[in-house]
Amino acid sequence: MYAALNQDDQLVYAHNSILGERYYCPKCYRPVQLIIATPQQQPHFRHKTRFSNNDGESGLHIKGKRLLQQDLQQLGIVAQQEVILGTEERRADVLFYYQTQCYAFEFQCAPLSIQELQQRHRSYEQLAVQDIWLIGPTYLTASGCKLHRSALKFMDYRTHWGYFIAVWVPDLSKIRLFHHIAFEPPCGQIRFKSRDVSLSLFLASYFKVTKPLLFLPVMSCCFDPSHWLARQLNFQNSRWRTLQVECYQQGLSLLDLPRQLWLPQRLPPLSLSWSAPLKAQIELYLITGGLTWQQRSQIYLETKWPLVN
């Protein structure tokens, strides 16, 4: 190829380029090497290593890190890529300082298990580094307007945003912020608000003092799940059939739940489905014979999402 992107994201031609500078492929954003002219060939660029879509970093990941670093530097913040931290060699995608706190942007494009996310989050905590997770557009649906369910594990919380997930879109150099995320049963999908914001606006809000949500204010429980449960019991292998037997043994029916076991119209998005806290509160009710709001609040706020804990 005879043209590549320089560190300022500008397209430059090989015959005008300087040996030793960093250049990137304009198609895949992988590093390329400047090859100087010879009598047999003109100056040109070539990829430093062969690669496929299944090994190493993706072009999206490389471009995303580079633009994050550039945007931070434009804000007057010193930022570095691929910084190795601690004895476990935790490698931060983009590391920077704000006031006296050290932060690490993790730009996650590839699939990641909850266990790996938990391990990486804990290692940052042990290093006293605040990790900020930005997922890539690979976690969005084709329209780019909705999140795949696999993105829910990256749920975080801020007082002014509620539960949120941040998506870094390198092509726009914007963060697509999905905020005030909630379950609204019986809908199976999450509800949310979304908007595209600059990195500077995102950080200005992120740095505001926030308090963890330790309990929920008392809410009206107006959703009767009985009709939804009736449909679930029609499935031969439904997990609810076992619970129905346990209910019968105590004189209770899933098809006629007492109002004490109804749900609020909005629930924290802290599991893969709103049915998880429903099942948990029914099981606790069978053990205790009653539920206080404090107990219900603890159930609704219980989660395996690492960034919320």
The predicted model scores a pTM of 0.78
For the cut 60, the answer to whether the pLDDT of residue 54 exceeds it is: no
Looking at residue 95, what is its pLDDT? 93
For the cut 80, the answer to whether the pLDDT of residue 236 exceeds it is: no
Q: For residues 129 and 125, what is the distance between their CA atoms, to the nearest angstrom?
A: 6
pLDDT, mean of residues 36-61:
64
Phi, psi of 207 (to 5 degrees): -75, -10
Q: Which residue has the higher pLDDT, 237 or 186?
A: 186
Q: What are the distances in angstroms from CA 102 to CA 98, 130, 135?
A: 7, 6, 20
- pLDDT tens across 113-145, in order? 999 999 999 999 988 899 999 999 999 988 889
Residue 184 tokens, joined: 């609204």
Looking at residue 48, what is its pLDDT? 63
Which residues lie closer than 8 Å to 74 by C-beta, 6 or more apart?
none
Share above pLDDT 90 across residues of the chain, in percent, rounded to a whole number: 64
Q: For residues 2 and 42, what is the distance between their CA atoms, to the nearest angstrom?
A: 9
Q: Which residue has the higher pLDDT, 52 or 253?
A: 253
- pLDDT tens across 279-300, in order? 999 999 999 998 999 999 999 9
For the cut 90, the answer to whether the pLDDT of residue 261 exceeds it is: yes
